[in-house]
């Protein structure tokens, strides 16, 4: 499915009466391995390809897709036909050429990795976890994945662009057992570049998380300080991500609706979305409409400065797309989504090593795991989640802690940040450092 194939569909749709036409093509291959007991439990390879056509006639939108290149004529016909049954919408437009960004998203080492080497990576994740400590008795889901994709977008306003990308990820769940107690630890890393993945470290980190929680004790209710570690901060940030979408704002489903220019988080925090970070999973030269990706600060020193847009939502507000059109695949129209979203200190003076964050706690907790995050309400921001981690008194870790509960609202949580760790890590396309937060109710 090359440029000629896409142009053939575009011209056929125009001949059939479409005023605006977009052809989106994507193919990918994937190799996934899961190890257990130093043997391969599953090994799966897959290859997918597909394309879709979006047409606009008199403001009416039509859409169709297929995986068989031989069906292209019927796809064009169905897209034209479906446009006859939709309501006119003045905001149905396609973007014009905006160039594209130069960002490193392809690694031939991933695209050409031998199966034997891919298997070795999964085995090394599991073995590293087991070698960390004799109390690691089981390893679950020691898996690695290697993906190569190609995306091409052609439209009637001059866009004709494509890029190749790769992705590699690894994750593992380690189980520690001692004196009749069992604890689990999880770790993950993903990148578009193979040499940035440390497979052994992933196994060791999961094991260390599990071992560290052995001997956990319940705590008494207290109002104190908490440190959210990287993984937990990323979970809370992913809830905020929905509210930073212009789509959510326009549907009145965002806690940030109507609050541009207001201080919504701690002034010590800034939130950035960037598709230009080399090797990151959310990076790409252009979005899923062909608009160049950008880097934009959405919250600056705690102040809300903007939202993420695709072409439709941008047209609705009379602004430019931020290059944040995303598709789940060929079967759907582009929605609004993040590239690489991360929170960080708004100024270097608010950033410090983790040891310094801990030293600033009189009584409180380091939260390393949450339970029930899916029950949080992303629209109201209300949450009540179970947490576990480590109890801290007078700047020192005293013992592991379990079965505690932290409740509140997302905005109040992030408004309470007083210090930011220097340990920014990305989990997929969400990046987060550790955060020190004051004035939190912790119930046992």
User: Given a cut of 90, is residue 100 above it in pLDDT?
Assistant: no
The two tokens of residue 365 are: 């907790």
Distance in angstroms (rounded) separating the CA atoms of residues 158 and 99: 10
Average of pLDDT values for 341-357? 97
User: Given a cut of 70, is residue 259 above it in pLDDT?
Assistant: yes
Q: Strand runs (DSSP E) across 232-362, as ranges?
A: 269-274, 295-300, 303-304, 325-326, 335-336, 340-345, 351-352
Average of pLDDT values for 342-346? 97
Give the mean pLDDT of the chain: 95
Cα atoms found within 13 Å of the Cα of residue 425, Cβ hemisphere only: 20
Distance in angstroms (rounded) separating the CA atoms of residues 436 and 107: 37
User: Given a cut of 80, is residue 212 above it in pLDDT?
Assistant: yes
Residue percentage of the chain with pLDDT more than 90: 93
Q: Model confidence over 307-324: pLDDT tens digits?
A: 999 999 999 999 999 999
Number of helical (H) and strand (E) elements in the chain, helices listed first: 10, 22
Average of pLDDT values for 227-234? 96
What is the per-residue pLDDT for 374?
A: 87
User: Given a cut of 70, is residue 382 above it in pLDDT?
Assistant: yes
Q: Compute the Cα dihedral for 433, 434, 437, 442 and give only its sign.
A: positive
What is the per-residue pLDDT for 362?
A: 94
2 band by pLDDT with thresholds 50, 70 and 90: confident
Spell out a b/e string for 218-232, using b for 16 or more CB atoms within 10 Å of the CB, else e: ebeebebbbbbbbbb
Distance in angstroms (rounded) separating the CA atoms of residues 439 and 93: 48
Distance in angstroms (rounded) separating the CA atoms of residues 159 and 62: 19
Average of pLDDT values for 173-177? 97
1 band by pLDDT with thresholds 50, 70 and 90: low
Per domain, the residue ranges of the chain are 3-212, 217-443
Average of pLDDT values for 247-262? 96
Which 3 state secondary structure label does DSSP give 112? Answer: coil
Average of pLDDT values for 230-254? 96
CATH assignment of 3-212, among 1.20.1600.10, 3.30.2290.10, 3.40.50.1820, 3.30.230.70: 3.30.2290.10
Q: For the whole model, what pTM was predicted?
A: 0.95
Using an 8 Å Cβ cutoff, are 201 and 209 in contact?
Answer: no
Average of pLDDT values for 365-382? 91
Phi, psi of 236 (to 5 degrees): -65, -40
Using an 8 Å Cβ cutoff, are 61 and 73 in contact?
Answer: no
Phi, psi of 208 (to 5 degrees): -65, -35
Q: Model confidence over 271-313: pLDDT tens digits?
A: 999 999 999 999 999 999 999 999 999 999 999 999 999 999 9
- The DSSP code for 277 is S
Average of pLDDT values for 201-226? 94
The two tokens of residue 426 are: 């990305």
Average of pLDDT values for 157-180? 96
């Amino acid at each position: 499915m090359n440029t000629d194939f896409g142009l053939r569909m575009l011209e056929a749709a125009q001949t059939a009466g479409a005023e605006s036409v977009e052809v989106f093509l994507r193919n990918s291959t994937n190799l996934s391995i899961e190890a257990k007991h130093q043997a391969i439990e599953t090994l799966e390879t897959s290859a997918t390809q597909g394309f879709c056509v979006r047409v606009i006639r008199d403001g009416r939108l039509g859409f169709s897709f297929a995986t068989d290149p031989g069906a292209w004529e019927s796809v064009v016909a169905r897209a034209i036909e479906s446009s006859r049954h939709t309501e006119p919408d003045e905001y149905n437009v396609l973007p014009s050429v905006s160039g594209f960004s130069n960002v490193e998203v392809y690694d031939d080492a991933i695209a050409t990795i031998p199966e034997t080497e891919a298997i070795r990576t999964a085995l090394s994740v599991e073995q590293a976890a087991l070698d960390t400590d004799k109390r690691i008795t089981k390893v679950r889901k020691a898996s690695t994945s290697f993906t190569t994709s190609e995306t091409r977008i052609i439209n009637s306003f001059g866009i004709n662009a494509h890029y190749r990308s790769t992705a590699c990820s690894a994750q593992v769940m380690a189980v520690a057992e001692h004196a009749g107690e069992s604890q689990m630890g999880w770790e993950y890393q993903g990148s578009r570049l193979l040499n940035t993945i440390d497979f052994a470290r992933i196994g060791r980190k999961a094991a260390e998380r599990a071992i560290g929680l052995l001997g956990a004790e319940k705590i008494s209710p207290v109002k104190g300080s908490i440190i959210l570690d990287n993984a937990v901060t990323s979970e809370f940030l992913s809830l905020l991500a929905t509210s930073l979408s212009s789509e959510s704002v326009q549907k009145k489903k965002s806690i940030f609706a109507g609050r541009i220019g207001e201080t919504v988080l701690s002034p010590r925090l800034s939130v950035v979305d960037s598709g230009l970070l080399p090797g990151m999973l959310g990076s790409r030269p252009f979005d899923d409409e062909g608009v160049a990706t950008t880097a934009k600060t959405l919250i600056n020193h705690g102040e809300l400065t903007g939202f993420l847009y695709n072409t439709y939502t941008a047209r609705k507000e009379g602004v430019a797309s931020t290059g944040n059109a995303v598709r789940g695949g060929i079967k759907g129209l582009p929605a609004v989504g993040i590239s690489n979203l991360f929170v960080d200190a708004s100024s270097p003076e608010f950033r410090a090593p983790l040891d310094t964050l801990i030293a600033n706690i009189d009584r409180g907790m380091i939260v390393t795991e949450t339970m029930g995050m899916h029950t949080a309400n992303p629209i109201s921001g209300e949450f009540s989640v179970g947490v576990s981690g480590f109890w801290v008194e007078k700047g020192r870790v005293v013992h592991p802690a379990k079965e505690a509960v932290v409740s509140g609202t997302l905005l109040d949580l992030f408004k309470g940040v007083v210090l930011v760790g220097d340990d920014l890590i990305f989990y997929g396309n969400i990046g987060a450092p550790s955060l020190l937060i004051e004035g939190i109710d912790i119930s046992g």
